[in-house]
Structure 1
Amino acid sequence: MRHVAIIGSGPAGYYSAEALQKALGDEVRIDIVDRMPVPYGLIRFGVAPDHQSIKAVYRRYEKVALSDNVRFVGNVLVGRDISIPELIELYDAVILATGAPHDRPLDIPGGDLPGVIGSAAFVGWYNGHPEFADLAPPLDVSAAAVIGNGNVALDVARILSKTPAEFAGSDIVGHAFSALGDSAIRDIHVLGRRGPHQIAMTPKELGELGHLESAVPKVDPADFPPEMDDALLEPGQRKSVTHLRGFAALDAAKTKTIHFDFFAMPLRIEGEGRVERIVVEKTALDAKGAAAGTGETYEIPCGMVITCIGYQTPPIEGVPYEESRGRFANSEGVIGDGLYCVGWARRGPTGTIGTNRPDGYEVADKIAADFGGTGGRKDGRTGLDRLLESRNVDIVTFRDWQRIEAAEAARAREGSPREKFILIEEMLGARR
C-alpha cells in the first residue's frame, strides 16, 4: 500500500486525489490535509458568492472525498502542527496544493495607507474567511478604485455595485451583505495600465456588468483601437472587447457607475491618515505592447483602493521557493524526492479552476512512475494520527464537515444556500 499526503483541499488538491485514484486504484491511501476545518479552499473562499454555478464543482470533489481510500484531515496547519520533513517521513509522496492565498504587495507610495485593501482580504471578507472577518472595509465613502484588469477586479467591482436584491441565491456572508447594503459608494474606478485589447477579463464575467440593476459601466470610446483591429484577437478576447465597446455606447442613468480607466498607471496614493485619492499616470503602448508612462497625470478622488494585482503562495519552511514568481521552486511539479506541487503553488496564480485538473493528473502519473512496482513501507495516516494526537491537534474529518455544512444550511437567510460560520471556533462547535 502506498500513502500520499496532499496539503490543501482546494481544486488542485482534489483533482490530484482523483488522478491518484485512477493511476493507482486501491493501492493508494490519500490524506488531504488543510489548515481550515472546512474543505474546498478557493471554491469556498475565493469564487464570488453570486457565482453559485461555478461553486457547484465541489460536488465532484465531494465524490472523491467520500471514497474509501481518501480522507479529509482539517484544522491542521503544516509548519505549526507538523513539518514537511515529518510528512515526508510518514508518506511515500507529499503534494503541495496550497494555492496562492496571499496578495502581492502594491509597491507605490501610500500603498500602506488605511483604506488600501488587497483583493485576497476583500474577497475573503465577503466570502467568510476567518482571517478577514474583522476587515471592516471603508464603505462610507463615495468612490473606490480597483486596480487590475482581470476577473478578480470584475468580481470586486460587481460586488460593490449590486443591490441587496441582486444577492438573492448567493452565499455572501451576513456581515458583508449588511455592510454592502448600507454602502455609500457610487463610483467605482477600474484601473488598468494597458488598453481594452490587453485585458484578462472573460466575456461571461464582463457581460454581467451590463445587466446590473443600479450600476452602469462606462468606457471612453477614445481608448479603443480601430474596430477592424478586433479581428486580430482570439475569439474569447474579441467577445470581451465587444462588451466593452457596448459599454462605451451606453447612455443609461443609474445611481452607480463603474468607470473603466484604461491606460492608467497608479503612481501614488494620498490622504491624511487614510486614502483620499489615487494619482495615476496616463500610459501608451510601446512597440512591444508594454505600457510606458507619458508624463501626464491625473487624480481620482476615492476613499478605498482595492488591489487586484496578483497572488503568491506563502513559503513553507524547508521547501525551495521562488520569490520572484511567488511559488514553490519546481521542475514540472517535482520539488524533490517524494515532494511535489500542483496548481497555483506550482505555476503561480494563472489559469482557471479547470486548469488545475491536467496539473493534478500529470503529477499523479509522475508519482505512479516513481513508485514503480514496489510496495510502500511508510506509516501514512496511522503515523499521522499518532503524531497529531500526541500534539493535541483537534482534527476535523469529512463527516465532521458534513455536520458543519448542514448547520450552515439550517441557518441560511431566505433564498441563500448557506450562512457560513466565520470563526473557526464556530465551525468546530457545529460539528458536534
Structure 2
Amino acid sequence: MKMMTMINLMRGSVMKIHGLSSASRCLAAEGGVRGLSSSSSPRVCIVGGGPAGFYTAQQLLKARQNAAVDIYERLPVPFGLVRFGVAPDHPEVKNVINTFTQTAQHERCSFHGNVNVGKDVTIDELRQAYHAVVLSYGAEGNRSMGIPGEDLPGVFSAKDFVGWYNGLPSNKELHPDLSFETAVILGQGNVALDVARILLAPVEMLKETDITQNALEALAGSKVRRVLIVGRRGPLQIACTIKELREMVNLPNTRADMLPADFEGIAEALKDLPRPRKRLTELMMKAVKEGGDDKAEKCCGFRFFRSPVEVLAGADGKRATGIRLALNKLEGSGESARAEVTGQLEDVDCGLIISSIGYKSIPIDPAVPFDPRRAIVPNEMGRVQDTAGLYCSGWVKRGPTGVIATTMNDSFDTAHVLIQDMEAGKLDLSVNKPGAQAITALLQTRGVRTVLFSQWEKINAEEEKRGKSQGKAREKLLDVDEMLKIAWS
C-alpha cells in the first residue's frame, strides 16, 4: 500500500514535467525523467549496469522511439565485467564503454548507481513502477570445486583474483601470497589464460594499463615462475580461444611447458576438425614441438585429462601447499566427450591455486523464480517463467558463457521479445507508470542516495587524473565510500 500511495503521488508530478524550462528539466533528470511525458512512454527498468544491461537498453531505445529506460546498478560505477572482468592488457575490448556511455547519455535513458536491488528496493516495487523489468545482473557467485581443502589460504576463485587486479571493491583486501614458484589454475577457458598471463607477464607490459597499483606492486615482487593450467578433458575440448592462446605462448621470457603424452593421437584427428578448433590445436602442438627457449626464466603450460580431488595442506595444516589430481580418460569424442577417472592420482606442489571453473548467478529477490541447479532465472527467450512483465538477459538468462559479443546478441534478443510483447498488447501500456520518479523518492525515504551518470563521470575524471600522474590509463578507486564522496562533491 505504501508503494502504491507513493506511485500515485508521483504520477501528478511526472505529468507536470513535460514543458518545463531547460533548467527544470535538468532537475527532473535527477529523478530519471528527463522531460518526458509518462503518459506516452513505456517505462522499462533494467537491473544491472554491465554489458547485458547496456546492450538491452541500447536496443530498446533504438527499437521503440518513445521508450524510457532506467538502469539500476549496485555499485556507484557502471560497466560491470567490462570494467572488472576484462584483462587490463586488453584495452581494445574496453572500447565498448564508449558505446555504453552514449546509451547512458541518451535523453530517454538514466543510470542509477549505488542501488542494491533486492535489498534497497524490491522487484515487486520496481514492477509496480515500470511496465517491464529486465534482470541483467550477471553472475556474482563462484562455482565450488566441492573438494576437501578448497577453503584453505592460498586458494582463490578466478572471479575474486581477477577482481583483485581489476579493482573490484569487494576484492581489494584479497592480498594473494605470490611467494611460491608454482601456481595451478583449474579450468582452461579464457579467464584462466588471462590469469596465467597476468601472473607471468613482465611488469613493464602492465604498468601502463589500468591494473590497480597494489596488484602491480604485488606482481613486481612475485616469485611465481611456473603456471600450470589444468583441465579434466583433452586438447580437443579446451575452452579458450586462439587469441588468448597465442598471447600465452608468445609471452616474453616464458617457454611452453606441455606433456607430449597429452597430445597422442591428436595429429590424426586434425583433418576432421572445424577450422577454428583445428587452428587452436595446431598452435598447441607447435608449442609442444618447439618447447620454447630453454633460457626462459618462466614457463606456462596445459595439463590435460586431470581433475582436482583435494587441496593439500602443509605440515601445520594452515595453508595450501599442493593439489591432488585424478587422472582421467575420455569416453566419446569431440565436444561431447566425457572425462572418466582411471583411479590414478598425481600430486603437484604449488603455493597458489586458482579455481577458474565458472561464475554463477545468485537469486536476487524471493519474488523472482530461480533454478539453483543451472544457476539461472528460468525463462523462455528472455521472458521469466510465470511472471508477466519480467524479463532477463545476459548470464542470468543463459549461464556464464561466451564473450561480450555473445552477451550483445543475447541482450538484443531479449529486447526484441520485450518490444514484441508491447506491440502485441501483452504489456498494458495504457496504465500510467511513474518509473524512477517514484523509485528515487522511495529510496530517499530509506536513506539510499543514487549516483547518476553525470556523477559517475566525476569518478571517471578522478581515476584518469590519478592514472595520468602514474603514467597509466587510469587508477581505479577501490573504496565505495571514496567513490560516493567524489560523485556527490
Q: Same fold (TM over 0.5)?
A: yes
**Per the alignment, in what secondary structure is the counterpart of residue 247 of structure 2?**
helix
* Alignment partner of 1:300 is 2:338: no
The 4+ residue runs of structure 1 with deviation greater than 4 A are none
Quick check: 2:256–2:292 contact (8 Å CA) kept in 1?
A: no
5 Å-filtered alignment, 1:6-405, equals 6-25=46-65, 27-224=66-263, 225-248=265-288, 249-253=290-294, 254-271=296-313, 272-287=317-332, 289-317=337-365, 318-335=367-384, 336-372=387-423, 374-405=429-460
**Equivalents in 2 of 1:84, 1:251: separation in Å?**
55
Q: Paired residue for 2:472? A: 416
Q: Distance in 2 between matches of 1:251 and 1:341?
A: 46
Partner of 2:126, secondary structure, is helix
2:42 maps to amino acid: R
Separation in 2, partners of 1:226, 1:131: 43
Whole-angstrom distance in 2 between the partners of 1:236 and 1:375: 50
Aligned-pair RMSD on alpha carbons?
Answer: 1.3
Give the letter aligned to residue 16 of structure 1.
T
Deviation at 1:126, TM superposition (A): 0.4
SS of structure 2 residue aligned to 1:184: coil
User: Contact 1:100/1:312 (CA < 8 Å) preserved in 2?
Assistant: yes
Question: Aligned AA for 2:361?
Answer: T
Counting matched residue pairs gives 431
Given residue 234 of structure 1, which amino acid in structure 2 is its aligned partner?
P
Q: How far apart are the structure 2 equivalents of 1:350 and 1:251?
A: 32
Q: Which runs of 5+ in 1 are unaligned?
A: none
CA–CA separation in structure 2 for the residues paired with 1:415 and 1:180 = 18
- Higher mean Cα deviation, 299-308 or 366-375? 366-375
CA distance in 2, matches of 1:405, 1:219: 43
How far 1:228 sits from its partner (Å)?
A: 3.2
Name the CA distance, whole Å, in 1 between partners of 2:207 and 2:255.
20
CA deviation after TM superposition for structure 1 residue 415, in Å? 3.7
139-148 vs 224-233, which moves further: 224-233
Greater Rg by CA = 2
Matched, 1:426 2:474: no
Distance 2:243 2:301 in 1: 19
Q: Residue type of the partner of 1:270?
A: L
Separation (CA, whole Å) in 2 of partners of 1:198 and 1:360? 27
1:245, distance to aligned residue in structure 2 (A):
1.1
Contact 1:313-1:326 at 8 Å conserved across structures:
yes
In 2: Cα distance, 1:62 partner to 1:226 partner? 46
SS for the counterpart of 1:15 is helix
Aligned partners of 1:219 and 1:245 also within 8 Å: no
Secondary structure of the residue aligned to 2:311 is: strand
Contact 1:11 1:43 survives alignment (8 Å): yes
Paired letter, 1:257: C
* One-letter amino acid of the counterpart of residue 59, structure 2: A
**Percent of aligned pairs sharing the same letter:** 39
- State whether residues 136 and 396 of structure 2, in contact with CA within 8 Å, keep that contact through their aligned partners in structure 1: yes
Structure 2 residue runs without a partner (length 5+)? 1-40
TM-score after normalising by structure 1: 0.97
**C-alpha distance in structure 1 between counterparts of 2:267 and 2:360, whole Å:** 36
Q: After alignment, is 81-90 or 168-177 more displaced? A: 168-177
Is the Cα–Cα contact under 8 Å of residues 381 and 417 in structure 2 kept in the other structure?
Answer: no
User: How far has the Cα of 1:259 moved from its partner?
Assistant: 2.8
Contact kept? 2:188, 2:229, Cα under 8 Å: yes
CA distance in 1 between counterparts of 2:452 and 2:462 reads 16
SS in 2 for 1:205: helix
1:368 alignment partner AA: I
Secondary structure, aligned partner of 2:380: coil
Displacement after TM superposition at 1:376 (Å):
4.3
Per the TM alignment, residue 217 of structure 1 is displaced from its structure 2 partner at its CA by: 2.4
SS at match of 1:328: coil
Deviates more, 1:43-52 or 1:288-297: 288-297
